[in-house]
């Protein structure tokens, strides 16, 4: 009840909210073959033993015990720019057979399309600002609609919700099972954004930054190796126009102001899994799988090979 009234307040406050929220609501409902509503209004504490909140274990882990391909999870990735949301969301998407939907990619696709929104979006994104809720919900709705037509179900959202109002709208229309909050030492975030490279042909994500933070004042060191492109991509690398130092710093400030409160929103509902990245992919991926009670057999086999 509380969630619904908050949602309708959020919808009422939007610029042109009703159409967007109604469309979003329809699509999300259509894509919600199962729900874990038991955790939707719970407030509980973080279980440091295995990183999963004790109150969400029955709801979430009940589904995780099944074979990954047999369930349709509805997960959200939160975390600062450069933390690796896209990398880990896309790996989980491959593992679970669930679509990875990154609203940043939807915005960039719209920019590249030279459609009517394109020049308006370019200015906003290149200044590191947030796009309006109305536009984001419209882009997300269209993506979900296209997925629904292809028989997709479940999702791993990356980059949405990014404001409490977006979280309220989402919470009002569907049950999010789990929110994974990726955390990385602040000194690594800027370097990771500046080192990011994308293959203009295949869209692959790479990173040329070598992060080597020395142990200091009792804090452990941290090493993150670069993620070099394969030879066929090496000459086709581009940098995102919003990955300049000035714009990344602005995006980090906006994250603190607008998105940090989304962590509290989900924490108070017992849905937040805090995950401190211990290093690069080789160190972090197995630990993340462990925290999610998942296993990547292919990864194990390739590690053993």
Does residue 211 interact with ligand ADP by CB under 6 A? no
Part of the chain binding ligand ADP (CB under 6 A), chosen from 65-73, 148-156, 159-167, 282-290: 159-167
- From residue 149, alpha-carbon distances to 31, 64, 144, 153 in Å are 11, 26, 9, 10
Does residue 251 interact with ligand ADP by CB under 6 A? yes
Check if 251 is active-site. Answer: yes
Does residue 103 interact with ligand ADP by CB under 6 A? yes
Residue number, 23 or 129, with CB nearest to ligand ADP: 129
DSSP per-residue letters across 199-249: ETTT--EEE---EEEPPBTTBPPEEE--BPPPTTTGGGEE--TT-SHHHHH
Q: Which of 102, 51, 79 is nearest to 294 (CA)?
A: 51
d(CA 62, CA 268): 21
Q: Pairing mode, if any, of strands 74-78 and 178-183? A: parallel
Does residue 78 interact with ligand ADP by CB under 6 A? no
Q: Which of 186, 167, 178, 195 is nearest to 256 (CA)?
A: 186
Judged by CB under 6 A, which of 17, 68, 81, 172 binds ligand ADP?
81
Residue number, 71 or 108, with CB nearest to ligand ADP: 108
Residue number, 56 or 176, with CB nearest to ligand ADP: 176
> Is the Cβ–Cβ distance between 61 and 290 less than 8 Å?
no
# residues near ligand ADP by CB under 6 A: 17
Does residue 107 interact with ligand ADP by CB under 6 A? yes
First to last CA, the chain: 53
Does residue 174 interact with ligand ADP by CB under 6 A? no
How far out from the chain centre does Cα 22 lie? 23
Part of the chain binding ligand ADP (CB under 6 A), chosen from 20-28, 99-107, 220-228, 265-273: 99-107
The catalytic position among 71, 85, 267, 271 is: 85
Element (H, E) at 193: helix 186-194
Q: Which of 78, 45, 86 is nearest to 163 (CA)?
A: 78
Element (H, E) at 34: none
Does residue 154 interact with ligand ADP by CB under 6 A? no
Judged by CB under 6 A, which of 136, 144, 167, 209 binds ligand ADP?
136
Minimal distance, residue 159 CB to ligand ADP, in Å? 3
Q: Which of 219, 89, 218, 210 is nearest to 158 (CA)?
A: 89
The catalytic position among 162, 165, 192, 197 is: 162
Check if 165 is active-site. Answer: no
Q: State the sign of the Cα–Cα–Cα–Cα dihedral 149, 152, 158, 160.
A: positive
Residue number, 103 or 153, with CB nearest to ligand ADP: 103
Judged by CB under 6 A, which of 11, 130, 189, 292 binds ligand ADP?
130
Check if 196 is active-site. Answer: yes
Residues with catalytic annotation?
Answer: 85, 162, 196, 240, 251
| Contact residues: ligand ADP, CB under 6 A | 81, 103-104, 107, 124-125, 128-131, 136, 159-160, 162, 166, 242, 251
């Amino acid at each position: 009840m509380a969630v619904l009234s908050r949602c309708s307040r959020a919808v009422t406050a939007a610029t042109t909210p009703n159409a967007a929220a109604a469309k979003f609501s329809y699509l999300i409902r259509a894509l919600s073959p199962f729900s874990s509503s038991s955790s939707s209004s719970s407030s509980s504490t973080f279980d440091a033993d295995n990183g999963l909140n004790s109150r969400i274990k029955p709801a979430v882990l009940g589904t995780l015990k099944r074979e990954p391909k047999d369930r349709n999870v509805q997960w959200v990735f939160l975390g600062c720019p450069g933390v690796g949301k896209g990398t880990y969301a896309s790996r989980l998407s491959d593992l679970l057979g669930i679509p990875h939907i990154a609203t940043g990619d939807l915005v960039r696709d719209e920019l590249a399309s030279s459609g009517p929104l394109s020049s308006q979006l370019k200015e906003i994104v290149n200044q590191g600002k947030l796009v309006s809720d109305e536009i984001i919900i419209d882009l997300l709705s269209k993506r979900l609609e296209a997925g629904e037509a292809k028989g997709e179900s479940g999702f791993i959202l990356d980059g949405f919700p990014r404001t409490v109002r977006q979280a309220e709208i989402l919470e009002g229309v569907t049950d999010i099972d789990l929110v994974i909050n990726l955390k990385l030492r602040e000194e690594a975030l800027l370097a990771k954004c500046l080192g990011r490279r994308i293959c203009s042909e295949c869209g692959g994500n790479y990173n040329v930054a070598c992060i080597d933070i020395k142990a200091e004042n009792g804090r452990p060191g941290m090493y993150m190796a670069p993620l070099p492109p394969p030879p066929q991509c090496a000459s086709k690398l581009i940098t995102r126009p919003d990955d300049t130092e000035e714009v990344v710093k602005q995006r980090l400030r906006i994250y603190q102001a607008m998105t940090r409160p989304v962590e509290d929103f989900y924490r108070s509902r017992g849905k937040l899994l805090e995950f401190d990245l211990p290093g690069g992919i080789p160190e972090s991926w197995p630990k993340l799988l462990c925290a999610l009670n998942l296993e990547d057999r292919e990864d194990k086999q390739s590690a053993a090979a």
